[in-house]
Amino acid sequence: MAPPIVPPRPQPPTPRVVKTRQPFSLCRCIAISLLTLLIIVGIVVLIIWLVLKPHKMVYSIENSSIHDYNLTNNNHLNANFNFTLRAYNPNKRISIYYDNIEVKLFFNSQPISLNNIVEPFYQPRRNVTHLNVSLPTNDVPLYGDIARDFKTQRSGGDVEVEVKIRAKIRFKVGAWKSNHRKLKILCTPRVNFSNSRKNLKSFPCDVDV
């Protein structure tokens, strides 16, 4: 007789691998939210810039002159420096409020006239405003090399001074007004001593907002 056929033993079922979903990371959620916010802010800023097309303000010193000049034997300076500040706002949609304007006068980095306050004013769009600035120097001592340099330039007919202007400004677009921004202006005009005549040359200024 043929040997009995033994049926194959059944194989145990292969266990199914169940993939567990990782919980959504809180840090990832915050990062995505911040990135989305930055993109939105960037788009808004770009749109505003394209609409407004802001231009930098332009300033210069004109009509510089000196009156009542006297330099004593012990190098004490008395004089009245006069300038016209030309302020140009080239923007089509932005007007400017100038608040708390302070003007100081220097020679070779030494202050010779301080704490001169100019009246605040409002500048419309695409406007040129001229401000007459008087900077008195009353019995200011000039020391060492500064006195020598002043006399040397004075003998040549004019002296180069530094006019530093600081102001708080606000921008206005339509009905919206910005917070205060600091405006710094540096001008280096040459003042003519020839018969106290005005120097009609225009001297451009550096601007920092």
pLDDT tens-digit series, residues 9-18:
666 666 665 5
**Rounded mean pLDDT of 130-141?**
95
On whether both 49 and 103 belong to a single domain, the answer is: no
Residue at which a domain ends, from 12, 40, 55: 55
User: In this structure, what token pair is assigned to residue 12?
Assistant: 């145990």
**Predicted pLDDT of residue 34:** 85
Half-sphere exposure (CA, 13 Å, Cβ side) for 22?
4
**Predicted pLDDT of residue 2:** 56
Confidence at 25, pLDDT banded by 50, 70, 90: confident
In a domain, 18, yes or no: no
On whether both 113 and 129 belong to a single domain, the answer is: yes
On whether both 85 and 115 belong to a single domain, the answer is: yes
pLDDT tens-digit series, residues 79-98:
999 999 999 999 999 999 99
86: β partners: 60, 130
Domain count, the chain: 2
Which amino acid is located at 21 in the chain? Answer: R
Which residue range forms the structural domain that includes residue 34? 27-55
Strand segments (E) across the chain: 58-71, 76-89, 95-107, 110-118, 121-123, 127-141, 158-160, 162-173, 176-177, 181-187, 190-192, 203-208
**Predicted pLDDT of residue 142:** 95
Confidence at 165, pLDDT banded by 50, 70, 90: very high
